[in-house]
Structure 1
């Protein structure tokens, strides 16, 4: 059973937090612990964690839509299996952040419908340029995401590396996999895409805007 399904049934809550705990007489929620981590709903920097989980969920959702767009155009070509393998990893990333949103009660960005359309359009549009165009998009996006993950790692390390150990492990693992996708893109001739430097710069500018908006809205 998935983590989200367990949460819906109440099993995940009992597994991670113990029996459901009511508000105190003063309306203050009693501290609860997230699985084996030192992170609890009361002792974490809620603003920072909410921002991190929200934007990472949005980013992985957008990446999934990009790969969906690429597969719609190139899925039956020789590069299709390469794209599918990267997409499968992005699906796992999205699943994990969806579970973390439930566990930490983080709302998704209100821009999800927008990223749904824009992500697919970006993936399909660059794929129409051919394999090189799709891989140029992969390089640009994954480089931006890895840079963003590195910023989050520094933030959590400055806060308390032991307390945020489990979240740090997740982010570091996904960062490394995004960098693998970046390298795969380069290995499959991303730099041969038409106007590669311009295309990469434009996509990364869009990624920066998406990160800024998803963190806040």
Structure 2
């Protein structure tokens, strides 16, 4: 047995681990766990205007997945129930797929992710920790509401994406399915229902993020 097997990880180790994870998520492509949804979808000819429209929406999706990664990491760090930590990690792994799919599609469209991604990550990590600090049921409630709002955004993107952009549509459709599954999982685990004022605040924050990310 190796000496490192007996090491007890302390708070500093945890903090360093999360910083490393944050830097990797923001600046480096990660390994996807599942196949790229657009892999078997042909690339239709898109006009410059259609590419610009699709890229703006996929940049928003990438920023949202960056925020989701940070949110899950912050929630998992504070969560009290070991089972909940495992479920949050599982959902986080699926969000890694989403992050990579959106990044890949942006590259195909000749565009880059939002320059504000580091800001979205830091802010969402803090929100995730705050949600976890008030208790696991509220933590799950915040998670469920976040995912339902994401599903609503993705439905809007499916309406606004160019009809010819089948590759982006395949990605968004799979993301929508996954996000809805995360919301149902949170409810099954005992999510509390959030007050309307909190839901409204979340929608306002999301509106600011999506508005900026589409352009910057």
Give, in whole Å, the separation in 1 of the partners of 2:81 and 2:144: 21
- State the match for 1:50 in structure 2: 55
For the pair 1:66 / 2:71, whether they are aligned, the reply is: yes
* 8 Å Cα contact 2:103-2:113 kept in structure 1: no
Report matched runs for 1:142-153 at 5 Å.
142-153=147-158
* 8 Å Cα contact 2:54-2:168 kept in structure 1: no
- State the match for 1:209 in structure 2: 208
Report matched runs for 1:67-86 at 5 Å.
67-74=72-79, 77-86=82-91
Mark the runs of 5 or more structure 2 residues left unpaired by the alignment.
Answer: 1-28, 31-38
- State the match for 2:111 in structure 1: 106
Number of residues paired by the alignment? Answer: 180
* 8 Å Cα contact 2:41-2:166 kept in structure 1: no
* 8 Å Cα contact 1:144-1:208 kept in structure 2: no
Give, in whole Å, the separation in 2 of the partners of 1:177 and 1:191: 21
The structural deviation recorded for 1:205 is 2.1
The structural deviation recorded for 1:35 is 8.0
- State the match for 1:26 in structure 2: none
Give, in whole Å, the separation in 2 of the partners of 1:197 and 1:77: 29
For the pair 1:138 / 2:143, whether they are aligned, the reply is: yes
- State the match for 1:200 in structure 2: 199
Q: Which has the larger radius of gyration?
A: 1
Mark the runs of 5 or more structure 1 residues left unpaired by the alignment.
Answer: 6-33
The structural deviation recorded for 1:41 is 5.9
Q: Secondary structure of 2:83's partner? A: coil
RMSD (Å) for aligned C-alpha atoms: 2.3
